[in-house]
Amino acid sequence: MRNTIDFSPLYHSAIGFDRMASLLDSVARDSKPSYPPYNIEQVEENQYRITMAVAGFTEDELEITSEQNSLVISGRHQGDSENRNYLHRGIANRDFERKFQLAEHVKVVSAKLENGLLHVALEREIPEAMKPRKIAIEGVDSGALLEKDAA
């Protein structure tokens, strides 16, 4: 029997990524190895960054695809490492595909590869029509009441 963690309290307070709690829940249920390792961080109120360790991959071997509410990062080695005679092979040198579900109105802004880390910048842009608006409360003008009473 495996341990299960209840992430349901997180559903009420998800920040930025509306589906973050369900993602955590599905990751906890997955028994697949988590390669390559990655971090998700909140940089500012509406800005996020995914940092993925992709040591050994070049820019040409990495592909980032964003479509609707999903982000797919994949790496395919093009080098010929099969002809090498390894005495010890401890560095993972395998292809990967990692999928992320993005919240509504989150878009990929940029990506850069630096020192074996792939940084993908994300930004949440809420449409003007969906932003909260402040509604002015109109009161009865006291000057108009005085003029009405005097007449």
Question: Tens digit of pLDDT for each residue in 65-110?
Answer: 998 888 999 999 876 656 778 888 887 778 999 998 888 888 899 9
Q: Which amino acid, residue 100?
A: F
More confident: 102 or 150:
102
Q: What's the whole-model pTM score?
A: 0.63
Question: Tens digit of pLDDT for each residue in 1-25?
Answer: 555 665 555 544 444 554 555 555 5
Question: Tens digit of pLDDT for each residue in 118-137?
Answer: 999 999 887 777 778 888 89
Return the CATH number of 33-131, one of 3.30.40.10, 2.60.40.790, 2.40.50.420, 3.40.50.300: 2.60.40.790
Nearest residue to 48 (alpha-carbon basis) of 113, 125, 117: 125
Residue 14 is predicted with a pLDDT of: 43
Nearest residue to 76 (alpha-carbon basis) of 92, 65, 60, 55: 60
Beta sheet of 47-53, edge-to-edge order: 38-44, 47-53, 117-124, 106-114
